[in-house]
Amino acid sequence: MDKAVLIVEDEKDIREIIEYNLKKQGFVTEAVQDGVQALKRIREGRLGLVILDLMLPGIDGMELCRIIRSDREKAVRETPVIMLTARSEEIDKVLGLELGADDYITKPFSTRELIARVKSVLRRYETAKAGPAAEQIIEVGDLVVDTGKYQVQKAGRRLDLSAVEFKLFLYLVQRPGRIISRDLLLDAVWGNESYVEPRTVDVHIRRMREKIEDDPSNPRYIMTKRGVGYYFSEKAAAP
Ligand code: CA
């Protein structure tokens, strides 16, 4: 990867360990010590990934992640973020609606885990980016998704999804197991030029479920994370 990994961490030792190990793996790295510097650098663009510590002086990691995810610039909003957290109880929050980080690492972490997480998040982004352009065929359970034709087949039968339903479905199916907030779905599917109520997402999800699920009230593919949003079942995505 030619784009740099930005490490945002005020603790020198941890910052240096991460940099050292990523460099050893061939990554280009940059490092800053606080949220203000981080935000400035992120807005300059051309970063492959940000490793963001939760506890930072000034703007903390949570606030910074929130700022990134609601930035006006699409490129900034879509910056891959891995959060470093010392407390496992924060994980739900970190990955959920409020922050929308892509993954997390709990301190203390092993180098191997760190590298694995970084590679996995980058891979996920590359797949998502290559998705529609490459006219991918995605097979999940008894569903076959043709991203080029905007079609979903279930057990060989073509489902009559609207364009919006298809876009919602595709966004979720390309990120199995990741909880996507209503706001993020609104942004991804409707864009931010039109004002659509978050409840609209629920309505479309309900209609989509009626077409996709065997039993819409007991879904197998499109799952609800109460109070947060939706996700595509990782279980359904498992081969
Ligand atoms: Ca810290």
Query: How does pLDDT run across 49-100, given as a tens digit for each residue?
Result: 999 999 999 898 989 999 998 898 888 988 999 989 877 666 666 665 567 7
For residues 223 and 230, the answer to whether their CB atoms sit within 8 Å is yes
Distance 38 CA to ligand 1 centre (A): 13
State the virtual CA torsion across 25, 9, 95, 126 in degrees, nearest 10.
Answer: -30
Specify the domain boundaries for CATH 1.10.10.10 within the chain.
137-237
Average of per-residue pLDDT values in the chain: 86
As assigned by CATH, the class of the 137-237 domain is mainly alpha
Please check whether the domain covering 4-130 is classified as CATH 3.40.50.2300: yes
Q: What is the pLDDT of residue 234?
A: 80
Kindly give, in sequence order, each residue whose CB lies less than 8 Å from that of residue 43, ignoring residues fewer than 6 positions away: 71, 73, 76
Q: Where are the alpha helices (DSSP H) in the chain?
A: 12-24, 35-44, 61-69, 74-77, 91-95, 111-133, 163-173, 182-190, 198-212, 234-237
Q: What is the pLDDT of residue 193?
A: 47
Distance 7 CA to ligand 1 centre (A): 11
Q: Name the residues around ion ligand 1, CB cutoff 5 A.
A: 10, 53, 55
For residues 113 and 119, the answer to whether their CB atoms sit within 8 Å is no
Banded model confidence at residue 152, pLDDT cuts 50, 70, 90 = very high
Distance 10 CA to ligand 1 centre (A): 5
**pTM > 0.75: yes or no:** no
Distance 117 CA to ligand 1 centre (A): 19
Distance 5 CA to ligand 1 centre (A): 17
Kindly give, in sequence order, each residue whose CB lies less than 8 Å from that of residue 7, ignoring residues fewer than 6 positions away: 15, 18, 19, 22, 29, 30, 31, 32, 51
Distance 171 CA to ligand 1 centre (A): 33
Question: What whole-number distance in Å separates Cα of residue 175 and Cα of residue 60?
Answer: 27
pLDDT digits (tens, 9 = 90+) for 10-46: 999 999 999 999 999 999 999 999 999 999 999 998 8
Specify the domain boundaries for CATH 3.40.50.2300 within the chain.
4-130
Per-residue buried b or exposed e for 146-159, using 16+ beta carbons within 10 Å of the residue's own CB: ebeebebebeeeeb
- The pair of structure tokens assigned to 86 is 């010392």
Distance 55 CA to ligand 1 centre (A): 4
Distance 57 CA to ligand 1 centre (A): 8
Distance 28 CA to ligand 1 centre (A): 22
